A and B are shown apart, each in its own frame.
Chain A
Amino acid sequence: MHVRVAPPPEQILAELSSILPHLQHSLEAGTAKAHLIWQQHYEGEEMDPWLYSNITRHGAKKELALAGVFADYDTDQLPFSGLSLHTPRPSENGMLHIRIWKHGGADWSELPPPGTSGARLDFFSQEGLATDGISSDGDWNLILLWHLNSNGLLDSLSLACPQGGNSYRAQYYWHVPVPPAITMVPPAAQDAPAPDLNLVLNTPNVSEEPEE
């Protein structure tokens, strides 16, 4: 049997470093939108987590599109009210298939279980990877979870590489926090240096010229 070894999280985070700031921005924007709509239309009512998640993903999808990142509603086989996107790996052959879901559990490290859905079990066990029917050893399924704070706004993101599971419990190779996106924003480009200050002598030099 062919045993697969999951790439380390540092490698995957590095491979995703150009896309993660867009994902964080879009989810921050999406949760802010959901928060605002809830305040405007449903103030005082108990929060409907499904509606809230759907408004969030709608807002996030729009923001991602503005940044040129194509994400689709995750409704095809995995109805988690999330988004899915597929991105080629920059340093390896293969694709990263990312499902973006809301973290629902109380425990940070907890992943949503795959349940009984065959499609979801395949996704968790790293089967059924390819969108085009062709998969390679470099293909990996990943789960990006967005964690909310007590006000319903984005608190943080975490990334997991699932390994399998059952109705009650998910198994994963690793599950790590995603570094805040602002730490990945490229540094400032060096400004053109200022021209020298336009100062000139107005009287004969009080001191002798220095020796050569």
Chain B
Amino acid sequence: MIVGDRVRQARTIKGLTQKQLADLVGVRQPAVAQFEHGSRQPSPETLEAIAFATAFPVAFFSKEQLTHFPFGTLLFRGKTRMSERERTEAHELAAILYEAIETLAKNIKPLPIKIPLLSDRRPSDAAELTRSAVGLSPHGPVRNLIHHLESAGVCVIAAPKPLSNRDGFSAWTSTNVPVIALSPEKPGDRQRWSATHELGHLVMHRQIKDTTRNLEREADAFAAAFLMPDSSIRPEMGSPTTLVTLARLKPRWGVSIAALAMQASRLGALTDGQLRYLYVQLSKHGWRTQEPENLAIPIERPRAFKKMAELLYGIPVDVRRLAADLALNPGLLKDVLDVQAEGVQQRAKRQNPRVLGFKD
């Protein structure tokens, strides 16, 4: 007996329409609609064909869904437009990965969720309280942001492929777990900003009380205050603040020059005219979209999924057994593991490969 939603999930992640899947498996489109609705069961041969076409194992289609994984901030109006299909595709990919994490987490002692719920606070106050709640000092840059989020009980999902055109999104699951899903291979400063922006949504916007445009503004203000607390960054901005000043601050604070310029303007270190000038300079060299290579911030990767897999399936992870237990494609899981952080020991081993010596 298959679960209809699984057919829809697999088809969506593969980027297929019902008609395209129907053509691939040799049935008519209404049949696929009925499979997904649960009003009709496919024959074993058709199920095999669906599994083949979507690159999911047959066992996946009979797996019950565990937790309701909401769309969360995917429903917010982002900076870029997103079609319904793109939204669903991003959501289903994150939902599958979350489910994999949730399955493994049943065997792991849970980390307490330390992020607060602060719906009535100003973004800057919420950011300050959240820094404190996750064990960060009120001053200075945030190092290893993703590690701090995971240690505070936030489930951070690194998607192995882009979440359509979104840098990331977040949601509270029906079992009260805060989740942040991030697209891969964005510049490190942009990824850190996205993760903190989504943290702002988790902390301040569990209940939606405003237009999404305002909520987005609040989340940006939260990210700015969390990553660049006013009292610590203002003295470092100097006077006058120039492009070179901001470029020197970028590696230390791990945020983009554009974000530093906005913060400098907000703190009165730049006039509107100077801010415009800086933006013109950035645009002139194409740095609004991609800041100079020498100032690249390393990408941070989450660790939890790989760590759990290592605890349960050894080092290196036995992907075949993991895939069998999770009823997922080993290729997909390998891609997911590849975008996860390594443990301290593996990292040291990779950086200092063992030198074979002569026997005494």
Closest Cβ of chain A to B135, distance in Å, is 12
Q: Please judge, given known A-B contacts A28-B242, A199-B308, whether A188 and B298 are in contact too, CB under 8 Å.
A: yes
Once A197-B304, A207-B312, A207-B325 are accepted as A-B contacts, the answer to whether A181 and B344 lie under 8 Å apart by CB is no
- Tell me which residues from 230 to 260 in chain B have a Cβ below 8 Å from any Cβ of chain A: 240, 242-245, 247-248, 250-252, 254, 257
**For the complex, what is the distance from the CA of A210 to the CA of B316, rounded to whole Å?**
9
Asked if A202 and B108 make an inter-chain contact with CB atoms under 8 angstroms apart, the answer reads yes
Chain A interface helix/strand/loop/mixed:
loop
A132 interface contact, C-beta 8 A = no
Nearest chain B CB to A39 CB, angstrom units: 8
For window 167-206 of chain A, which residues contact chain B by CB distance below 8 Å? 180-203, 205-206
Give the number of residues in B that approach A within 8 Å (Cβ atoms).
Answer: 52
Does B190 have its Cβ within 8 Å of any Cβ on chain A? no
A-side contacts of B295, CB under 8 Å:
182, 185, 187-188
| Contact residue among B240, B244, B250, B296 (Cβ-Cβ distance under 8 Å from A181) | B244
- Chain B 333-352 near chain A by CB (<8 Å), digits 1 or 0: 00000000101100100000
CB pair B247 A198 closer than 8 Å: no
- Are the C-beta atoms of B294 and A183 separated by less than 8 Å? yes
How many chain A residues touch B (CB < 8 A): the figure is 43
* One of A30-38, A79-87, A138-146 contacting the partner: A30-38
**Chain B residues whose CB sits within 8 angstroms of the CB of A209 once the complex forms:** 314
In contact, B107 and A199 (Cβ under 8 angstroms): no
Q: Which residues of B contact A29 (CB under 8 A)?
A: 240, 242
Tell me, rounded to whole Å, the shortest Cβ–Cβ distance linking B193 to chain A. 16
CB-CB nearest in chain B for A192: B143
Q: Count the A-B residue pairs with Cβ separation under 8 angstroms: how many?
A: 131
B22 to chain A, nearest CB (A): 37
Q: What is the bound-complex CA distance between A181 and B246, given in angstroms? A: 11
Q: Bits for A154-178, please: 1 = Cβ < 8 Å to B, else 0.
A: 0000000000000000000000000
Identify which of A22, A35, A203, A210 contacts B107 (C-beta below 8 A).
A203
Chain B interface main SS type: helix
- Whether A201 contacts B107 by the Cβ 8 Å rule is yes
Query: Which residues on B sit within 8 Å (CB–CB) of A192?
Result: 143
Cα A153 to Cα B243 with chains together (Å): 12
Report if A77 contacts B (CB, 8 A).
no
Q: Is B283 an interface residue (CB 8 A)?
A: no
Q: Do the beta carbons of B242 and A25 come within 8 Å of each other?
A: yes
Contact A198-B151, Cβ < 8 Å, known A29-B242, A192-B143, A205-B312: yes
Alpha-carbon distance A195/B294, docked complex (angstroms): 26
A69 CA to B248 CA in the complex, in Å?
17
Q: Is the CB of A207 within 8 A of B321?
A: yes
Alpha-carbon gap, A33 to B273, bound state (A): 12
Would you call A24 an interface residue if the criterion is a C-beta within 8 Å of the partner chain's C-beta atoms?
yes
Residue of A nearest to B274 (CB): A32
Interface residue? B36 (CB, 8 A): no
Name B109's contact: one of A153, A181, A202 (CB within 8 Å).
Answer: A202
If A182-B243, A206-B312, A207-B325 touch, does A197 touch B303 (CB 8 Å cutoff)? yes
Please report A residues at the B interface, Cβ cutoff 8 Å: 21-22, 24-25, 28-29, 32-33, 35-36, 39, 149, 151, 153, 180-203, 205-207, 209-210
Please list 14 pairs of residues, one from A and one from B, whose beta carbons are closer than 8 Å in the complex, sorted by A's number: A28-B242, A180-B243, A181-B243, A183-B292, A183-B294, A187-B295, A188-B252, A188-B298, A193-B144, A199-B308, A200-B109, A200-B311, A202-B110, A203-B106
* 8 more A-B residue pairs beyond the given contacts A32-B277, A194-B303, A205-B312, with a C-beta to C-beta distance below 8 A: A29-B240, A183-B292, A188-B251, A188-B295, A194-B341, A196-B344, A201-B312, A202-B109
Sorted from nearest, which 10 A-B pairs have the closest CB atoms? Answer: A188-B251, A210-B314, A194-B147, A182-B247, A25-B244, A194-B144, A202-B109, A28-B242, A29-B240, A185-B247
Interface residues of B (CB under 8 A from A): 106-111, 143-144, 146-147, 150-151, 240, 242-245, 247-248, 250-252, 254, 257, 271, 273-274, 277, 280-281, 285, 292, 294-298, 303-304, 307-308, 311-314, 318, 321, 325, 341, 343-344, 347
